[in-house]
């Protein structure tokens, strides 16, 4: 805003509120929204959500803020929940100069303490891979590295070169023969594990249902979103008196009657609403998830018991470390303790899953009533009758052996996009006695989606499966073609996102019609679908699907 406009505001007493849409517009990740509030000679700038753009990581390497606005110009941030596409851009914003407070619920703070350092580690590993590919492409001599490195211990001069390379930041292969391929700046990580850890000190906690005034111009209240532990709908109040606007930012909202969590809380009213559309054109199946899981587990157990070469089969459950793993473990425990499925050894494989489970234990007070009662009775929801925590990679690989009885392995990632589950799939997919049981959305291009395409029955909504087309018999895992003889199941019952029916029912509880609705966080069909349902069923006007970098005056 130029000086003339600012003088006009000071003279008239009028205020201006602008919304900049900077992420998850016509896309499913990268949540980031900038608010600017101009009043008299003062401007307040803040953001809601700071998410990574998972489907296009290069977007996060660019300047995401509007021209003329830098990270140091932002006064504070509010984050709805801990998932990487809503929180994990924070360390990058801090690197760029942000120095304000970041407001979250207590459980979100603790989950970000698990998720952000892991994100930093993955950023570093990805940078190393890209640098290695760059070196190989630009120095053909590097193809000889493997053979020459074997003799390094017998060649003191080459060993010295390796040490020199380590000190200067060049690879040993680059230092060899006078090659000087230093680390390319464009292959630097977005941020490091240490930078992610340091970013956590910016977090400030606010409890649910507590109105918090950040300054004279902005206040907010967190209400239960029912999506993952600690997830909140952000209810903003911007301005005062007749100049006040209210804005409801949904973040991600959950389904009713989900395991462990409380239900999505109604919101009374808001001048403007921003809502996600992950399932904007789809409805979840209405069925008893325990009955479905029981049927699947009993069939998988019977299949795994068929003795033969290699011993019993296994049941692999790829599950997101935060939320999904805890829900599935609880349901397996319930079924085993009730005698509805055989009691089998359950191996929980992954440090991140264990850390997230500890956060769930810590925040039992914000679970649903059933879960709280269970914990008060001394029952741990996340521990099955025959339970083993797999501590490290060595113990994880030790599971690749003959087993005298069927076992269950719960491991991340949920879309098989990385982590220890990839190694398990590589080992067990060819075993016809084994089962892979996916319990959540499988994104486009992921290994999970590629595997689920082979299923003859239910499929995730992300997979279009034309009829009468034979399923592939192989799948590529970590660059290797693997036979796919295992049975593949898909249980959409564990999705943590509201469908369009849930979303419209939630919006219908608003006591007055908003002035405007912004729909984000979905693919094109989902965005258009939710817009149509809101307009048709609620008769609301001003429903907009914003584009990236679009600016609105509210």
Instruction: Provide Rg for the chain, Cα atoms.
Output: 26
**Whole-number Cα distances in Å, 519 to 17, 191, 249, 267, 510:** 19, 30, 10, 17, 17
DSSP 357-391: HHHHHHTGGGB-HHHHHHHHTT--TT--SSEEEE-
Task: Say how far residue 519 (Cα) sits from the centre of its chain.
Answer: 19
Q: Give Cα 15 distance to the centre of its chain.
A: 36
pLDDT at 115: 95
| Residue 548 contacts residue 33 (beta carbons within 8 Å) | no
Nearest to 404, CA basis, from 335, 345, 333: 345
HSE on the CB side for 126, CA within 13 Å? Answer: 16
Specify the fold of 289-494: Rossmann fold (3.40.50)
Q: Whats the size of the chain, residue-wise?
A: 554
Do 486 and 217 contact (CB within 8 A), yes or no? no
Beta carbons of 249 and 456 less than 8 angstroms apart: no
Q: What is the pLDDT of residue 280?
A: 94
Token digits for 65? Answer: 């803020």
Q: Looking at residue 11, what is its pLDDT?
A: 55
Domain boundaries defined on the chain: 3-105+206-283+497-553, 125-147+157-203, 289-494
In the numeric block, which tokens belong to residue 11?
Answer: 């003279």
* DSSP reduced 3-state for 129: helix
Kindly report the pTM of this predicted structure: 0.86
Token representation of residue 483: 């036979």
CA distance 33 to 72: 16
Residue 138: predicted pLDDT: 78
**CATH fold of the domain at 3-105+206-283+497-553:** Metallo-beta-lactamase; Chain A (3.60.15)
Give the pairing of strands 487-490 and 551-553: unpaired
CA atoms within 13 A on the CB side of 475: 26
The pLDDT, as a whole number, for residue 162 is 42
Output the CA angle 132-134-140, nearest 5 degrees: 90
Q: Going residue by residue through the chain, which has 554 residues, state the pLDDT in tens, using 9 for 90 and above.
A: 556 666 666 555 689 999 999 999 999 889 999 999 999 889 999 999 999 998 888 899 999 999 999 999 999 999 999 999 999 999 999 999 999 999 999 999 999 999 999 999 988 988 888 888 787 777 766 555 544 444 444 443 334 344 333 443 444 434 433 434 455 667 789 999 999 999 999 999 999 999 999 999 999 999 999 999 999 999 999 998 888 999 999 999 999 998 999 999 999 999 999 999 999 999 988 889 999 999 999 999 999 987 667 789 999 999 989 999 999 999 999 999 999 999 999 999 988 999 999 999 999 999 999 999 999 999 999 999 999 999 888 999 999 999 999 999 999 887 777 788 888 988 888 889 999 998 876 766 677 777 786 554 444 444 444 443 445 578 888 778 888 888 888 888 888 899 999 999 999 999 999 999 999 999 999 999 999 999 999 999 999 999 999 999 99
**Which burial class, exposed, middle or buried, applies to 456 when counting CB atoms under 10 A from its CB (0-12, 13-18, 19+)?**
exposed
What are phi and psi for residue 131, nearest 5 degrees? -65, -40
Q: How far apart are CA 34 and CA 45, in angstroms?
A: 7
Pairwise CA distance, residues 247 & 77, whole Å? 15
| DSSP for 265-312, written as a single string | PP----SEEEEE-TBTT-----S-HHHHHHHHHHHHHHHHT---TTBS
CB atoms within 10 A of CB 76: 19
């Amino acid at each position: 805003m130029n000086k003339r406009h600012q003088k006009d505001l000071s003279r008239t007493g009028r205020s201006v509120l602008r919304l900049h849409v900077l992420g998850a517009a016509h896309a499913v990740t990268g949540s980031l929204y900038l608010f600017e509030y101009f009043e008299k000679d003062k401007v307040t700038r803040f953001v809601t959500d700071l998410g990574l753009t998972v489907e296009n990581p290069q977007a996060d390497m660019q300047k995401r803020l509007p021209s003329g606005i830098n990270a140091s110009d932002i006064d504070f941030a509010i984050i709805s929940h801990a998932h990487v596409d809503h929180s994990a851009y924070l360390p990058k914003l801090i690197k760029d100069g942000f120095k304000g407070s970041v407001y979250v619920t207590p459980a979100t703070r603790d989950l970000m303490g698990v998720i952000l350092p892991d994100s930093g580690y993955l950023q570093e590993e990805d940078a190393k891979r890209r640098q290695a590919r760059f070196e190989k492409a630009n120095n053909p001599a590097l193809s000889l590295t493997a053979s020459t490195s074997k003799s390094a211990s017998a060649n003191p001069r080459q060993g010295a070169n390796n040490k020199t390379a380590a000190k200067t930041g060049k690879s040993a292969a680059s230092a060899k023969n006078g090659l000087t391929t230093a680390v390319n700046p464009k292959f630097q990580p977005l941020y490091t594990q240490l930078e992610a850890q340091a970013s956590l000190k910016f977090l400030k906690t606010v409890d649910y249902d507590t109105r918090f005034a950040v300054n004279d111009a902005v206040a907010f209240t967190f209400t239960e979103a029912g999506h993952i532990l600690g997830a909140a709908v952000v209810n903003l109040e911007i301005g005062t008196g007749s100049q006040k606007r209210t804005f409801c930012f949904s973040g991600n909202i959950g389904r009713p009657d989900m395991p462990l969590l409380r239900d999505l809380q109604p919101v009374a009213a808001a001048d403007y609403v921003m809502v996600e559309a992950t399932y904007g054109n789809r409805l979840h199946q209405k069925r008893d998830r325990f009955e479905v899981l029981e049927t699947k587990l009993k069939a998988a157990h019977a299949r795994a018991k068929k003795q033969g070469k290699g011993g019993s089969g296994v049941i692999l459950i790829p599950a997101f470390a935060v939320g999904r793993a805890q829900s599935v473990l609880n349901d397996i425990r319930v079924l085993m303790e009730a005698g509805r499925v055989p009691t089998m050894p359950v191996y929980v494989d992954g440090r991140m899953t264990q850390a997230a489970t500890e956060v769930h234990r810590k925040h039992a007070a914000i679970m649903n009533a059933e879960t709280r009662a269970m914990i008060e009775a001394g029952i741990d929801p996340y521990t099955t009758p025959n339970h083993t925590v797999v501590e490290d990679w060595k113990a994880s690989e030790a599971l690749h052996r003959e087993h005298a009885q069927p076992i269950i392995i719960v491991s991340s990632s949920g879309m098989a996009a990385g982590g220890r589950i990839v190694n398990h799939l590589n080992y067990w997919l060819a075993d016809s006695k084994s089962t892979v049981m996916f319990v959540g959305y499988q994104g486009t291009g992921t290994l999970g989606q590629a595997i689920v395409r082979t299923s003859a029955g239910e499929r995730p909504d992300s997979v279009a499966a034309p009829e009468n087309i034979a399923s592939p018999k192989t799948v590529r895992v970590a660059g290797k073609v693997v036979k796919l003889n295992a049975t593949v199941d898909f249980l959409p019952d564990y999705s943590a996102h509201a469908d369009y029916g849930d979303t419209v029912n939630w919006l219908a509880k608003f006591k007055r019609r908003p002035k405007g609705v912004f729909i984000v966080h979905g693919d094109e069909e989902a965005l258009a679908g939710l817009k149509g349902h809101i307009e048709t069923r609620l008769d609301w006007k001003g429903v907009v699907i914003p584009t990236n970098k679009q600016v609105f005056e509210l």
